[in-house]
Amino acid sequence: MSASDVAVDTVVPADEVLVAGEWRRGGGTGSESIDPADGSVITTVHHASEADVDEAVAGGAEAAAEWGRRLPHERARHLHWIADGIEASAERLARLQTRDTGKTLKETSALVASAAGTFRYMAAALETFDEELTTQRGPSLTMSVHEPIGVIGAITPWNSPIASDAQKIAPALAAGNAVVLKPAEWTPLVSLALGRIITDSGLPPGLVSVLPGRGSVVGDAIVRHPGVGKVSFTGGTTTGRLIAHAAADKLMPVTLELGGKSPTIVFEDADVEAAIAGVLFGIYSSSGQSCIAGSRLFLPSARAEEFLERLVKAVARLRVGHGLDPDTQVAPLVHHRHRDSVAGHVDRARAAGGEVLVGGAVPEGDAYDAGAYYLPTVIAGLDNSSPTCQEEIFGPVLSVLTYDDEDDLVARANDSVYGLACGLWTRDYRTAWRVARRIDAGTVWINTYKQFSISTPFSGMKESGLGIEKGRRGIAEYTRQKSLYWGLDEAPHPWAG
């Protein structure tokens, strides 16, 4: 399997970044983008500089002043054109993303389709986004309207680039704003390709800039820029906290989609076949590099042995391989450095007394030698309070815990700084309802896992985030709300002389 069947330079000239409507070489340093399947250099991306950020914000503000005055249905039409462009380039976008992230082509194809769907959904939501006439309480007509903020800073991680870019750009544009997007250092290529599609769609120049670069340089410059009125960030909780501090200095609103350490709970009455498939998909799809990965598995003590025996056999059968191989289920991790970080977590788990039931190593063989592969891993024997069960590993590593009663289960499932997602496997609708309502998580899946719909809001509780994405209200997150009172009183005002 050769990854080089994507001629990257024909997809995106990576030495150019998009600054205020102009494609040109970034003012920062060059950085190599690596294919994690074999360690080869795909291309060199020239980072943006702080001066590029200044220019992008100024250009964005100018473009937004006109864009924000356009009628919603006119803006919606542009969002459809962007979706058309994504769909027309779907195959090459997916292949490019597979090269840059290592992910399976099946997954990157789904992410591309989801990005197009996000633009279409936000177009539809925009056209049906009604302003509010509020109930009259006095001699005035009262209403509440939403207005654009101006320039939005969008900062995204490396794990699902085009989908997370679209989740920020589409609602921000819909709401009448400009966007300055900063993709992650490891995976800028598909975001640059999306920038090309946006430019080609005829969107007013300057409305979207794409500025790859380091978080501490370009990301920080965007967050602190006085011309940026809101930042929408997806990434780790440590970075999210830094951004929240910087936002506090400016009193700027932020949306933060952060990390997770999500529990998956199997109840005694669960359909074991379905639960095993769901648990596997929940943790090992995307090689575990997913904020919502179901990384802590809670099993009822009475059935733990039987379940684990079947689970471990199923994990050992998972096909680890190149993302472009259609048979692959577990692709390489995004970068060799990240693979080493995951391996470090497993080594520390072993040292702490954890029992590695399967995996716990890099796979052997020529096909894997140069890539950032790590075997799907199951670890038992550690307490929920252990670092392995508390820290986000962001790799194909599942911790197994057992429980005897529901109160103890809920307490331990909630004993985490995170509150992003949860999976429940049970045939009893009452158990599902009761436990789903007791779990601290922005999303709970019942007899399924990792399903997503753009029409359903997504958010994190506790240290998993602030604000929401997706859903009709997703557009409102990129607006400022204003109330208007129209005086109707025909009688003279009591203060009238």
Q: How far is the CB of 41 from ligand NAD (least distance, A)?
A: 20
Does 219 sit near ligand NAD (CB under 6 A)? yes
Contact with ligand NAD (CB under 6 A) among 148, 282, 396, 460: 460
Q: Is the CB of residue 215 less than 8 Å from the CB of residue 185?
A: yes
* Binds ligand NAD by CB under 6 A, chosen from 129, 158, 403, 449: 158
257 is catalytic: yes
User: Cβ distance 251 to 227 under 8 Å?
Assistant: no
Catalytic residue among 103, 182, 261, 291: 291
Rank residues 222 and 357 by Cβ distance to ligand NAD and give the closer one.
Answer: 222
Site string for ligand NAD, 356-395 (x = CB under 6 A): ------------------------------------x-x-
CA-based R_g, the chain, Å: 24
Q: Name the segment binding ligand NAD (CB under 6 A); options: 155-163, 301-309, 345-353, 422-430.
A: 155-163
Kindly state whether residue 477 participates in binding ligand NAD, applying the rule CB under 6 A. no
- DSSP of 395-461: SSEEEEEEESSHHHHHHHHH-SSEESEEEEE-S-HHHHHHHHHHS--SEEEES--S---TTS-EE-E
Residue 147 is a catalytic residue: no
Within residues 35-64, the interface with ligand NAD by CB under 6 A covers none
Report CA torsion sign: 436, 441, 443, 445.
negative
Residue given tokens 């978080």 in the structure block: 215
Q: Residue 305 burial by CB count (10 A; 0-12/13-18/19+): exposed, middle or buried?
A: exposed
Greatest extent of the chain over all pairs of C-alpha atoms, in Å: 93
In the block, tokens 């359903």 appear at: 456
Minimum distance between the CB of residue 188 and ligand NAD, rounded to whole angstroms?
9
State the residue number with the nearest CB to ligand NAD: 215
- What single letter denotes the amino acid at residue 384? N
Closer of 100 and 392 to ligand NAD (Cβ)? 392
CB of 212 to ligand NAD, least distance (A): 9
Number of residues that bind ligand NAD (CB under 6 A): 29
Which 224-263 positions form the footprint of ligand NAD (CB under 6 A)?
Answer: 234-236, 239, 242-243, 257-260
Q: Residue 459: which residues within 8 A CB-CB, separation 6 or more? A: 257, 442, 465, 467, 468, 469
Q: Cα–Cα distance between 205 and 462 in angstroms, integer?
A: 39
Asked whether 134 and 142 are in contact (CB, 8 A), the reply is yes
Which of the residues 168, 230, 450, 470 is marked catalytic?
Answer: 168
H/E segment holding residue 42 = strand 41-46
Cβ distance to ligand NAD smaller for residue 182 or 196: 182
The binder of ligand NAD chosen from 101, 109, 159, 191 (CB under 6 A): 159
CB 80 within 8 A of CB 73: no
Residue of 257, 392, 463, 477 marked catalytic? 257
Based on the shown chain and the rule CB under 6 A, indicate whether residue 465 belongs to the binding site for ligand NAD.
Answer: yes
Q: Is 291 a catalytic residue?
A: yes
From the CB of 492, what's the least distance to ligand NAD, in Å?
Answer: 56
CA 15 vs CA 28, 46, 48, 236, 266: distances in Å: 11, 5, 10, 27, 49
| Residue range at the interface with ligand NAD (CB under 6 A); choices 126-134, 156-164, 189-197, 433-441 | 156-164
DSSP 3-state assignment of 153?
strand
Q: For ligand NAD, give the closer residue by CB, 158 or 267.
A: 158
User: Which positions are catalytic?
Assistant: 168, 257, 291, 469
Residues engaged in binding ligand NAD (CB under 6 A): 155-159, 182, 184-185, 215-216, 219-220, 223, 234-236, 239, 242-243, 257-260, 291, 392, 394, 420, 460, 465
